[in-house]
Chain A
Amino acid sequence: MHLLDYFKEGFRPDGRKLDEFRPITIEAGTIKTAEGSAIVTIGGTRVIVGVKMQVEKPYSDRPNEGTMMVGAELYPMASPKFESGPPNAQSIEIARVIDRGLRESKAIDTKGLCLIPGEKCWSVIMDVCAMNEEGNLLDAGSIAALAALNTTIFPGFDGTIVDYKHPSDRKLELKKQPIAITVVKIANYLLVDPTNEEEQAMDARLTVTTTAEGTICSLQKGGEASLLPEEIQAMLELAKTKAKEIRGSLSGKGL
């Protein structure tokens, strides 16, 4: 049966409705070598995000602020379609969209990461690592990044040496809680949380990052097809509704 024949009936090959996510689980703070971590599954898709905190030199144009960075690794372990080697466009896109959501919402108070202006600051480094890829890696990575940051504790620091073995009692406080939701367009249908099969059939997608307040803090259109303003509006609304639902169902469980 063709995908569109399912959609016409209001369902997808795995029985979900078009606007339905697969079950999401979060295992937060379990990686002992990271300052913060989360393992998130959405259906069969599984990602690990680890947060490392390092002392670095602030950027010269922002001497009073700490820094943040997001990396994404699409390990060949996770899928037969991934290959070893330097980051490709897909992994860079995932990292940058998650980065923008956190950066533009000012989730991390970078001023609070400054240690000595112009000399020393904390750098928050998140790595999004794909373990098993069965669709919608970006949303999984975004939820995992947020959940990992929520568990992050500063390592010990005596002014010179970072002591990773003896963490401080200071938590990394987040000012905002951004989540990215990707809405996919296939023919005239909009759906969320695509599987690999649905991603292959996708015409266009829009990733929308929103805060708990409902503010949109990053957008990324993908795919070859174009979108009309009315479609964009519908996608924004769907993404906001889903983000709210996910926050509700996972609050206290990592978000």
Chain B
Amino acid sequence: MKTQVNIMSKYQRTDGRDADGIRPMEAKVGVIPQADGSAMFKIGNTIAYAAVYGPRELYPRFLQNPETGILRCNYNMMPFSGAGDRVRPGANRRSKEISMVTENALRPVIDLHDCPNAVVDVFIELPQTDAGSRCAGITAAAMALADAGIAMRDMVSAIAVGRIGDGSYVDLSYEEEALEDYPVADIPMAFVNRTGEVTLLQMDGEVQTEGIMDALAKGREACKRIHALQTQALKNKFQGDTQ
């Protein structure tokens, strides 16, 4: 269970990756035929599905905004998707918070002023997780929104960067997050790709300002690779259609 790390030596990643190495990724668009748009994103052993429904009429009515449509995200771990005991079905404090920060991560790139009183629903489901699940969810959701034909000014990509000791390590696994003999900080982040704007930033652990800035720089580079994969997945679905 416990991973031993010699505090004197430089941290060697438990799975042998380089500091900026991302676990193997897979992206696919159009995986839920019933939805208006959908995508799957796999990073290591974390799998996220995202389905988009809408724009559709928003109920209950008092939530409607006559000025613009709204984006509503729902993040959910399947009961058997956690490393330990069964996760009880239904929303909890963690999933509600993640749903909210997911909305905030995506909203800056979409414009729903053309569909007042409407909602665009994004449902994110995780059948299997191994750290980085909120970022995988955001990455999948951005692809699903594009697949649904929602007007977006850019793609959003997300990654978590860890600080272990005084180094930045991209895309921590659950095993690395739980290292006992090293101080570990985890920093999930999301970027608007063209401009480099940050739309998600969280952190738990202890870090200095330089550590945050270094992690952001590493995360930005990692997201460029994720972005390339997202784009490819969308092309794979649509290149046949655009003649």
Contacts and interface: CB of A to CB of B under 8 A. Distances in A.
A99 interface: no
Interface string A71-105: 10101111110001011000000000000000000
Interface residues of A, number: 34
Interface string A17-58: 000000000000001111101000000100010111010000
Interface residues of B, number: 31
B123 A33 contact: no
B32 interface: yes
A190 interface: no
Contacts of B109: none
Contacts of A34: 80-81, 128
B128 A52 contact: no
Interface stretch (A111-119, A127-135, A176-184, A203-211): A127-135
A80 B80 contact: no
A79 B34 contact: yes
Contact of B81 (A50, A78, A132): A50
23 contacts: A32-B45, A34-B128, A37-B80, A48-B78, A50-B78, A52-B79, A52-B85, A54-B85, A54-B86, A73-B78, A73-B89, A76-B74, A77-B49, A77-B51, A77-B123, A80-B34, A80-B56, A127-B89, A129-B79, A129-B125, A129-B127, A132-B34, A163-B1
Pairs of residues from A and B, 9 with the lowest C-beta to C-beta distance, nearest first: A50-B80, A34-B80, A77-B123, A52-B86, A77-B51, A127-B79, A33-B128, A132-B32, A31-B128
Given A50-B127, A73-B79, 18 more contacts: A34-B128, A44-B34, A48-B78, A52-B79, A75-B76, A75-B123, A75-B125, A76-B121, A77-B32, A77-B49, A77-B51, A77-B123, A80-B53, A125-B86, A127-B78, A127-B89, A129-B125, A132-B34
